[in-house]
């Protein structure tokens, strides 16, 4: 059985992430989405909120689990007995970042294989930071995130 992990901040999960997870779940027997506990950037949602939103968003995919993790993503993959790590690529800037990270991860764990998915055209421009900015300014985000995430964003931004 091939297990894949898909690590990220998911602050919050978007339709772009869901697209990558859905495509991965169709390729491998099991996918574990790893929600990073302490990303190296300011997050809007707590770990519990990010986990809950991701779990709800991926509930229809029977071979997908959502878990939190801290530390190195290669260690998380090892703990999950995963042989594949999945990432998504939107634009060339993503490629440069992912390439560096992939080289480092290969050094740390040469047995872990990286699989990158090209973002679907509809979500090429979609990143959580831009999404949060649009939500904060009252823009329409309905087609970019599941309904429960849009509600959580509106609630959070309303409280700010």
Q: What residues act catalytically? A: 17, 41, 90, 128
Alpha carbons 65 and 31: distance in angstroms, whole number: 6
Of positions 18, 33, 77, 119, contacts ligand ADP by CB under 6 A? 119
Of positions 39, 78, 83, 106, contacts ligand ADP by CB under 6 A? 39
28 to 13, 85, 92: CA distances (angstroms)? 21, 11, 26
Q: Is residue 88 involved in binding ligand ADP (CB under 6 A)? A: yes
Query: How big is the chain, counted in residues?
Result: 160
Q: Is residue 23 involved in binding ligand ADP (CB under 6 A)? A: no
Give yes or no for a contact between 57 and 13, defined as CB atoms under 8 angstroms apart.
yes
Which two tokens mark 155? 């609630």
Alpha carbons 120 and 126: distance in angstroms, whole number: 10
- Alpha-carbon dihedral of residues 55, 136, 142, 31, nearest 10 degrees? -20
Q: Is residue 17 involved in binding ligand ADP (CB under 6 A)? A: yes
Q: Is residue 12 involved in binding ligand ADP (CB under 6 A)? A: no
> Closer to ligand ADP at the Cβ: 6 or 30?
6
Give yes or no for a contact between 53 and 21, defined as CB atoms under 8 angstroms apart.
no
> Closer to ligand ADP at the Cβ: 1 or 70?
70
Of positions 64, 123, 145, 150, contacts ligand ADP by CB under 6 A? 123
Q: Is residue 126 involved in binding ligand ADP (CB under 6 A)? A: yes
Binding site for ligand ADP (CB under 6 A): 8-10, 14, 16-17, 20, 39, 87-88, 90, 94, 119, 123, 126-128
């Amino acid at each position: 059985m091939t297990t894949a992990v898909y690590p990220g901040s998911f602050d919050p999960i978007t339709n772009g992430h869901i697209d990558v997870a859905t495509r991965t779940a169709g390729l491998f027997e099991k996918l574990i989405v790893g929600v990073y506990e302490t990303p190296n950037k300011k997050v809007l949602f707590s770990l519990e909120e990010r986990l809950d939103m991701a779990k709800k968003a991926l509930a229809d995919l029977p071979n997908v689990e959502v878990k939190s993790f801290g530390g190195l993503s290669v260690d998380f993959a090892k703990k999950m007995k995963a042989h594949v790590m999945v990432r998504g690529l939107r634009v060339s800037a993503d490629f440069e970042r992912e390439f560096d990270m992939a080289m480092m991860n290969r050094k740390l764990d040469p047995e872990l294989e990286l699989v990158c998915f090209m973002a679907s055209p509809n979500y090429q421009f979609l990143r959580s930071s831009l999404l949060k900015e649009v939500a904060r300014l009252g823009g329409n985000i309905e087609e970019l995130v599941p309904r429960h995430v849009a509600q959580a964003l509106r609630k959070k931004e309303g409280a700010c």
